[in-house]
Amino acid sequence: MTIEGNGIIEFSGTVLCGPAEEREGLWAVDGRLTFTRPGRQPGAVLDGWVLPGFVDAHCHIGLGPGGAVEEAVARAQAEADRDAGTLLVRDAGVPADTRWLGASPELPRIIRSGRHIARSRRYLRGLAEEIEPERLVEEVRKQARAGDGWVKLVGDWIDRSAGDLGPSFPAAVVKDAVAAAHDEGARVTAHCFAEDTIDDMLDAGIDCIEHATGLLPRHIPRLVEQGVPIVPTLVNIATFPDIARQAEAKFPRYAAHMLRLWERRHERIGEAFEAGVRIYAGTDAGSVIKHGRIADEILELCQAGLPAPAALDAACWSAREWLGAEGISEGAPADVVVCAEDPRQRPETAAALRHIVLGGAIIR
């Protein structure tokens, strides 16, 4: 991490303040962006296409396959995301208090969700606060107070007694829980693989849907009308065939269901985008997915039918606005990435960033 001696960086290329908004002339002065040329010469000049640092809207810094990880591992995860250009993370649930990461200016900013809330014995062991329905409202209030304005529910998981995906909690209880979170000033998002789970969450007034693999035509108008975005986590959904293979002998119905969901993954996202559903990029990095894969998720969104500018927007300008974070504007934190080519024309350039600047410090 390098902070130039006089605290000034000049960005000499094209500045993308939005997917269709270009301008010239940007500087970082003492960690803040400005469009006014400073009176001193810059300590560094960085050339290329400049855009705000990427957002991973579904990420688990501090989580490993067995639950919480050591602080050194969590730091390495955060550094891997940062070194891929992810400078803002919406945490989607970890079983440890990661607030200490926020005290490190050399790491991405994290907006935390507290701990996952799941049904007892209906999620990956060690990851969630596992409860029965009668405790859901109480636990949602607790996690709303523990996080940074978000609560994460596990909306469905395999119900071994039924041999397929099943809702974690009764719809009426979910509705009360979402209302409780809103009363605490928090938004609620939910892990949703199955079709009917999305109906329950929309009925409850949910604020976001994670994965949304069960998206059907009937859901799309409601998502648009209610203003509910989805975070598809396509690099995670790519693991569904492996999950199905492992489950097929014991749970054939579940395995077949997971394969069907995987087969439609691109089609459903393309349909949602065309209809005006807001889509944000998230990798689900954590227990299974490696950190630092935001460029892969952008490219997956392109495969799903999003034009390159829209796929970038899902991980950049609009994602920052949704989370209440600044992009490229006067006085904003100097958190930017620099591409060698126009990423709206060549989105693959996001996987080989020329420069990364965090808080006015040159990471690369």
- Whole-model pTM? 0.97
CA 131 to chain centroid, in Å, comes to: 25
- Reported as a single tens digit per residue, the pLDDT across 247-276 is 999 999 999 999 999 999 999 999 999 999
Beta-strand relationship, 336-339 and 355-358: antiparallel
* Residue 352 structure tokens: 């080989």
Report the distance separating Cα 27 and Cα 17, nearest Å: 13
Look up the CATH superfamily of 54-322.
Metal-dependent hydrolases (3.20.20.140)
Class at the top of the CATH hierarchy for domain 8-51+327-362: mainly beta
- Reported as a single tens digit per residue, the pLDDT across 39-93 is 999 999 999 999 999 999 999 999 998 899 999 999 999 999 999 999 999 999 9
The CA-based angle 235-238-243, given to 5 degrees, is 130
- Reported as a single tens digit per residue, the pLDDT across 327-343 is 999 999 999 999 999 99
DSSP string, 65-108: TTEE--HHHHHHHHHHHHHTTEEEEEE---SS--GGGGG-TTS-
Domain borders along the chain are: 8-51+327-362, 54-322
How much is the mean pLDDT over the chain?
96
Cβ atoms within 10 Å, residue 121:
9
Domains 8-51+327-362 and 54-322 share a fold: no
Report the distance separating Cα 59 and Cα 189, nearest Å: 13
